[in-house]
Structure 1
């Protein structure tokens, strides 16, 4: 079920140009991390407030008091507009009160709120999408007055900040960008009818598309980069760039019905198309046959390691190998390739310095931490070094390939470092306490995690132990050989009871919300696990 918020465009009625109010957005908690001198620039956006659900039967409002009497009166009008959208069961009055506290100084005349637009966020996963109901009002106020600590912006200034953010001390959020976009030339989404993603900043579109990646995500973000017509930036010469094109898409990894949508998108884009691949995993390249079928001129851009691991998947494409520091040119707009090993050894990111947008592949996720793939050269040492390198770029907007894009990149990246450091400290403490086998270390360091998930956690334990060994932090009596041996069948056998219990019990607990195919697949896995256990038991007899 989607979540909703209320937002307000406050126009200055006393000026001829379209001028609207933005307010400073609250930073995430714990914005400062000890030992990491990185902090995100201030973010300004439309005043907004979450809509709390109360009763699905209707729009129920907060109790009337002297403080919110005006909000209740206004709430009736807002409620009526929302009912026409089929939205019921929200505390509209509370949301209105929160917004008024952000923007309205005492004595300011405000016109009635008028419904403007419902903005439906794409389903990125794993959490519900956040849809925004936007209203509009006018303030009759002197231009020099700035209510509620906010700032007045006109459309042109807003777009200037969005497309050349490095020259400004503030950042502009997606709702303010949307408000300003109606007063400037059409962006990428408006020019291509097949594209239904979120365009932010201008010329950069993110579309989550169904892929083989398992839940809780289930989708891979297709990113379309075509910012040249807005920034006016011009590259130096063609010889200075590894690849040139009119538009770029990143990681077409969709499957099933989503491939039909990808086909429509590719057909609608210019023929001189670059396809940037962050790495070789199937959930990032499964749509390549669709791209080739609908644009035989498309050119693949990736690292040497990625192309090598893709094998025959590159057949029929022209391929350009790039590395960290390489530059590509999209209709005169320069983008930089960033070396980002860690998830895999050939992993790349791509950075648009004009808008501050960093497309980061699987180095980050919209929620939670990324898994590293040691079978493809992924390792923790590279991952942590890459994270600090990305922090040094100081991006404004971070786009992962799974989950919602992030408006607080420094906070996210610093959080990743601290999370890895904290987990490694637990693993080292377990080892110093006498744990030597994979099961002993995992069960101690992940004591706060259900035992049924320890097999997935083992991958991280192995990476951390290797990292500790590289940094010479392991005790002298710790045997890597014995640890590696214990991480195979002995570990799986000890985890088998917990995993089997989960696989068998979970579908019956959630039977009403699970499909029969899910139940059957879980039982099948349980039977397979039982067969493995029986096989090992016979070998021991």
Structure 2
């Protein structure tokens, strides 16, 4: 598989200053889904906030503690969303520092009504990598502001990749979590992922003024609006490919993924299938296509 960003070669556990008040430590959990590893961010100077402590990892915990060990108070532990590569270390860090865990809610929070119904049906698969034990101390709403030093942290609810996903504004930079990344398009796996929400979140971010995005995996983005437009165009392209496949006999998410993700390694086709399912649910909601019988992971879909 071709390396999507050969120039991004961080050293695990090493603190890097990205811009004033924003530092990054990359966790030692590289994989095809996490790229070089999870980016943990430390915000502030006189007061600190840690964003996405990451997976359970003693070396990574040590690196975080060394970064905040100079008697500077840790005020918040912020979690963009409840996936196992982002949230599990939050509880341990909170125990050791006394800082509260701040998030939009637990792993079920923020789902749209239809995704909540599909989650309860347990018929459409998904649930990959969810931190079902995640529980924040403080629940924040969309457009909440938190004070840090003489600056502020802006909390934006940005579902799409995950229902409880937040993006975090600091000055004119945005920590975009897994919603917007440069090295890959985000996984949208229902019922935690929701393509309708993804588009709405991207459009909401486009309406605001940002200098840079710092995703939870991969390198910073210095042209964030351009990347948002690319991601929306990519999803439109996939939608058109899917609609082309549905002009004849009914097709499943699996058969469509195999037909349109022709350059994707076989090991990543299950993730591609989840993205296709997200599109199929979105198109069904918009009454562009329909499915046979009750909706489930192997349903056949066809154009109306």
Give TM class, smaller chain: 0.7 to 0.9
Q: Deviations over 1:134-192 (max 9, x none)?
A: xxxxxxxxxxxxxxxxxxxxxxxxxxxxxxxxxxxxxxxxxxxxxxxxxxxxxxxxxxx
Distance change in 2, residues 1:345/1:293 (3 Å): closer
Paired residue for 1:299? 100
Paired residue for 2:229? 414
Larger RCO, structure (CA 8 Å, separation 6 or more): 2
Tell me the TM-score normalised to structure 2 length. Answer: 0.80
Bigger helix fraction: 1
Unaligned runs of 5+ in 1: 1-124, 132-194, 230-245, 489-541
Q: Deviations over 1:331-353 (max 9, x none)?
A: 2312211110111111111112x
Match of 2:76, SS? strand
Aligned residue among 394, 397, 402 for 2:212: 397
Do residues 252 (structure 1) and 53 (structure 2) align?
yes
Q: Is the CA contact (8 Å cut-off) linking 2:91 and 2:101 kept in structure 1? A: no
Shift in Å at residue 269 of structure 1?
5.5
Alignment of structure 1 residues 483-522 onto 2, 5 Å: 484=296, 486=298
Distance change in 2, residues 1:215/1:382 (3 Å): closer
Q: Deviations over 1:399-434 (max 9, x none)?
A: 100111111101111100000000010001110133
Alignment of structure 1 residues 321-470 onto 2, 5 Å: 321-352=139-170, 354=171, 356-376=172-192, 378-450=193-265, 453-470=268-285
Alignment of structure 1 residues 74-89 onto 2, 5 Å: none
Distance change in 2, residues 1:327/1:280 (3 Å): same
Aligned positions, number:
274
Aligned residue among 12, 25, 43 for 1:225: 43
Shift in Å at residue 442 of structure 1?
2.5
Q: Is the CA contact (8 Å cut-off) linking 2:76 and 2:100 kept in structure 1? A: yes
The whole-number CA distance in structure 2 between the counterparts of 1:307 and 1:454 is 26
Which of structures 1 and 2 has the bigger CA Rg?
1
Tell me the TM-score normalised to structure 1 length. Answer: 0.47
Shift in Å at residue 444 of structure 1?
2.8
Unaligned runs of 5+ in 2: 110-129
Match of 2:86, SS? helix
Q: Deviations over 1:214-262 (max 9, x none)?
A: 56614110111116x7xxxxxxxxxxxxxxxx21110000424222212
Distance change in 2, residues 1:215/1:373 (3 Å): closer
The whole-number CA distance in structure 2 between the counterparts of 1:284 and 1:130 is 20
Distance change in 2, residues 1:311/1:267 (3 Å): farther
Shift in Å at residue 473 of structure 1?
1.2
